Amino acid sequence: MRRVMRCVAWWAGLLLAPVMTVLAPLAWASLPPPAREAPVPAVARGWPVGTRPVVLRGWEPPATVYGAGHRGVDLGAPPGAPVRAVAAGRVTFAGRVAGRGVVSVELTGTGLRTTYEPVSPSVEKGAAVEPGEVVGTVEATGSHCPGTCVHWGLLRGETYLDPLSMLPPSLLHNGPSRLLPVLGVPTPA
C-alpha cells in the first residue's frame, strides 16, 4: 500500500509541475510591488564631530541582511573630541558593547535611531538631548579605523541607512555656487 501511495504521489507531482509552472508567474504578478524604503528626513542640525569632518569611510550597504558592508560612516576625529547629538531625541543606550563605548539616540518623531562609537558617554539612558548637545567624547582606542574616528550609524527599526542622508545639503557641501566678476576683461562697447 505504501508503495502504491508513493507511486500516486510521484505521478501527481509530475502532472502538477507543468500546471504550477504556468500558474505561479500569474499569481506572483498579482502581488503588490515591494514597499520602498521611506526617505530619510534631513533632520540633522550639525555633524556629530567637528564642523566638517573628513569622511574616512562611507556608507556601503550590504547586499543581504547578514552580508559584508559598512553600516554607517567613519568620521575622522581626535581622541577626546566632543561627540554631539545631530538632532533632538532620547538616549536609548549609553554603555559598552564588545569593549567599545556606544551611545544610541532615538530621534524625536522620526522612527530613526543614531549610534556613535567608540565614545565615552556623558549621558545616561533616558536622557533627552537637543541638537548639538554633547553625548560623549571620542575614545582613543576601540576604533576600527587606522587612526581615531567616530563610527556614525543610522537605523530605522533593524534596517541600517546612510547617516549622511540626514544632513541638509548646506552641511554636506560648501554651499551654493556663486558667480564672481571676471576682473581684467574689457567690457564690450
CA torsion sign, 127 to 131 to 137 to 142? positive
- Residue 48, pLDDT score: 97
- Phi, psi of 55, deg, nearest 5: -85, 105
Q: Which helix (H) or strand (E) segment is 19 a member of? A: helix 2-29
pLDDT of res. 7? 55
pTM confidence score: 0.71
CA distance 112 to 127: 16
Residue whose C-alpha is closest to residue 76's, from 136, 133, 123, 143: 143
Other C-beta atoms lying within 10 Å of the C-beta of residue 189:
3
Q: Does 29 score more than 60 pLDDT?
A: no
Q: pLDDT averaged over the chain? A: 82
Contact indicator for 125, 94 with CB cutoff of 8 Å: yes
Q: Return the SS3 of 90.
A: strand
